[in-house]
Chains A and B, each alone.
Chain A
Amino acid sequence: MGNEHSHGSSAHSAAPNPYLEKHTTPEQTEALENRVRTLESLLIKKGLVSAETLDKMVETYENDIGPLNGAKVVARAWIDPAYKERLLKDATPAIAELGFSGLQGEHMVVVENTPSVHNLVVCTLCSCYPWPVLGLPPAWFKEAAYRSRSVVDPRGVLHDFGLTLDESVAVKVWDSSAEIRYMVLPERPAGTEGMGEEELVALVTRDAMLGVAKVESRVA
Chain B
Amino acid sequence: MNGIHDMGGMTCYGPVIPEENEPVFHTEWEKRMFAMTMLGMGQLDTLDGFRHAVERMDPAHYLSSTYYEHWLAALETLALEKGLLTLEELATGTATEAGKGAEGPLPPEAVSAVVHGGAPTNRETGRLTPRFKAGDRVQARNLNPTGHTRLPRYVRGKNGVIAQVHGTFVYPDTNAHGKGEQPQPLYSVCFDAHELWGPDVSGTDSLYIDLWEDYLDPA
Contact = CB atoms under 8 A, between A and B. Distances in A.
B66 interface: yes
Interface in A166-205: 167-180
A127 interface: yes
B152 A177 contact: yes
A214 interface: no
B35 A58 contact: yes
B124 interface: no
A103 B90 contact: no
B114 interface: yes
14 contacts: A8-B202, A39-B76, A55-B108, A58-B34, A61-B24, A126-B5, A126-B51, A135-B24, A143-B16, A147-B8, A153-B201, A172-B205, A173-B206, A179-B169
B108 A160 contact: no
Interface string A68-105: 00000000000000000000000000000000011111
A144 B7 contact: yes
Interface in A111-128: 124-127
B11 A171 contact: no
Contacts of B33: 36
Interface string A1-44: 00011011001111111001010000001001101111111111
Interface string A41-71: 1111111111011111110111001100000
A45 B98 CA distance: 7
B11 A152 contact: yes
Interface in B80-105: 84-85, 89-90, 93, 95, 98-100, 102-105
Given A46-B102, A177-B150, A152 B111 contact: no
Contacts of B24: 61-62, 66, 135-136
Interface string B91-131: 00101001110111111101110111111111000000000
Nearest to B5: A125
Interface in B6-63: 6-19, 22, 24-29, 31-36, 38-40, 43, 51, 54, 63
Interface string A134-174: 01101110111111110111110100110000011111111
Interface residues of B, number: 96
Contacts of A54: 32, 35-36, 39
Give the interface centre of B24, B54, B197 by most chain A CB atoms within 10 Å.
Answer: B24
B90 A39 contact: yes
Give the interface centre of B10, B34, B76, B105 by most chain A CB atoms within 10 Å.
Answer: B105
Given A42-B95, A65-B115, A175 B208 contact: yes
A160 B15 contact: yes
A106 interface: yes
A38 B95 CA distance: 10
Contacts of A46: 84-85, 95, 98-100, 102
B98 A47 contact: yes
B13 A17 contact: yes
Interface string B69-86: 100100110010000110
* Complex A-B, nearest 3 residue pairs according to Cβ-Cβ distance, in ascending order: A124-B8, A46-B99, A178-B210
Given A57-B34, A178-B150, A39 B72 contact: yes
Given A7-B200, A42-B85, A145 B14 contact: yes
B29 A145 contact: no
Given A38-B93, A54-B36, A48 B102 contact: yes
